[in-house]
Amino acid sequence: MSPKTIIRQEEWERRLHDLQVSKNDLNRLVMDYLVIEGFKSAAEEFSHEAGLAAPVDLDSIESRMNIREALQRGDVTDAITRVNDLNPEILDTNPALYFRLQQQKLIEFIRQGKIAEALEFAQEELAPRGEESPEFLAELEKTMALLAFESSPAAPPAIAELLSPAQRLKTAGEVNAAILESLSQGKDAKLVGLLKLLCWGETMLDERAEFPKLDLSAGTFTQSSAQNKQP
């Protein structure tokens, strides 16, 4: 294996200084993050301080957060009502998402021990949709399997996980993404994606070169021992 290239701190800092990133671009990244993650108050304040218009109506942020909170507490009916109040086309044009919400509602009936209601709801609301799609039918069958295992620890992980908090979060995430898409807004924060790309790039570079690493706790670059040995 060929030896790693050594990049001294002075050269590293010069290269970073030569990078041109406008303040406006940085502000847009921050605003994008605040909007997608649902920080309405912070987005309003940042919009005012940075003189930057928000990419969406900021009131929609509060609506999205109310919908997410409703799903996280298991109130699917309230969530569906709020989604339709925000934009009825979201569910009208996305049958898969509507099925996910109805599936979550069935899960909540089972969680609460309302077996009669669960059976009736599954037969009237979900069974017809299962006939339309093999995927829907498989999900319905998996959900109904909860009735066989109830709270038994012997339930397969794929079945038991339907009652976990992660299932509610998953449903809430799908709804949140659909709302953002309806607003012509990306569903993933660009800042998070950029940080992942930077981490990947640093890993690739680390395989080929010795370079100063940023110490986040101190806010300074640290030299590796290999660099310090250079004349």
Angle at 200 between CA 199 and CA 204, to 5 degrees: 115
**pLDDT score, position 226:** 43
**pLDDT score, position 60:** 83
Angle at 173 between CA 169 and CA 176, to 5 degrees: 135
**pLDDT score, position 228:** 43
Phi, psi for residue 43 in degrees, rounded to 5: -65, -40
Closest CA to 29 of 217, 199, 186: 186
Give pLDDT tens digits along the chain (231 positions).
667 778 777 777 777 677 777 888 888 888 888 888 888 888 888 888 888 888 778 888 899 999 999 999 999 999 999 999 999 999 999 999 999 999 999 999 999 999 999 999 999 999 998 888 889 999 999 999 988 876 566 778 888 899 999 999 999 999 999 998 888 776 666 676 777 777 777 777 777 777 776 555 555 556 554 444 444
**pLDDT score, position 54:** 81
Helices (H), 152-220: 157-160, 165-182, 190-206
Judge contact between 95 and 188, C-beta under 8 A.
no
**pTM score of the predicted model:** 0.70
